[in-house]
């Protein structure tokens, strides 16, 4: 059974807290939160995040193609909602 949206947000919060333990975020996190503009992440950290998500879920995710798709669309930032949608499609 797939994980619920709420579970995925909770997962994301756990993974981010583990991956970037020295960061504090004072914004309200939601689907529209942008990883670069709002969370202050760098693009490399997005790669790190993908790596940690794979570790967390214990399997490969098509994270590279996901990011490549965003780039093709000309996206300048990644909203957490989109990331959660991606996880919803690929995390069992």
Which residues make up the interface to other proteins (CB under 8 A)? 13, 16-17, 20-29, 36-40, 42-45, 47-48, 50-51, 60-65, 67-68, 71
58: alpha, beta or left, given left = phi > 0 and alpha = psi -120 to 50? left
Task: Tell me the HSE value of 6 on the side-chain side, using a 13 A CA sphere.
Answer: 0
Pick 3 or 90: Cβ nearer other proteins: 90
The rounded distance, in Å, linking the Cα atoms of 86 and 92 is 12
Pick 2 or 42: Cβ nearer other proteins: 42
DSSP 8-state symbol, 2: P
The nearest distance, CB 44 to other proteins, in angstroms, is: 5
The nearest distance, CB 47 to other proteins, in angstroms, is: 4
């Amino acid at each position: 059974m797939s994980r619920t949206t709420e579970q995925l947000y909770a997962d994301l919060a756990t993974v981010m807290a583990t991956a970037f333990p020295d960061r504090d975020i004072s914004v309200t996190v939601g689907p529209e939160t942008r990883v670069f503009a709002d969370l202050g992440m760098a693009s490399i950290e997005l790669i790190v995040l993908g790596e940690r998500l794979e570790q967390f879920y214990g399997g490969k995710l098509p994270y590279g193609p996901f990011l490549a798709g965003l780039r093709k669309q000309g996206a300048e930032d990644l909203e957490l909602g989109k990331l959660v949608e991606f996880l919803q499609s690929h995390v069992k």
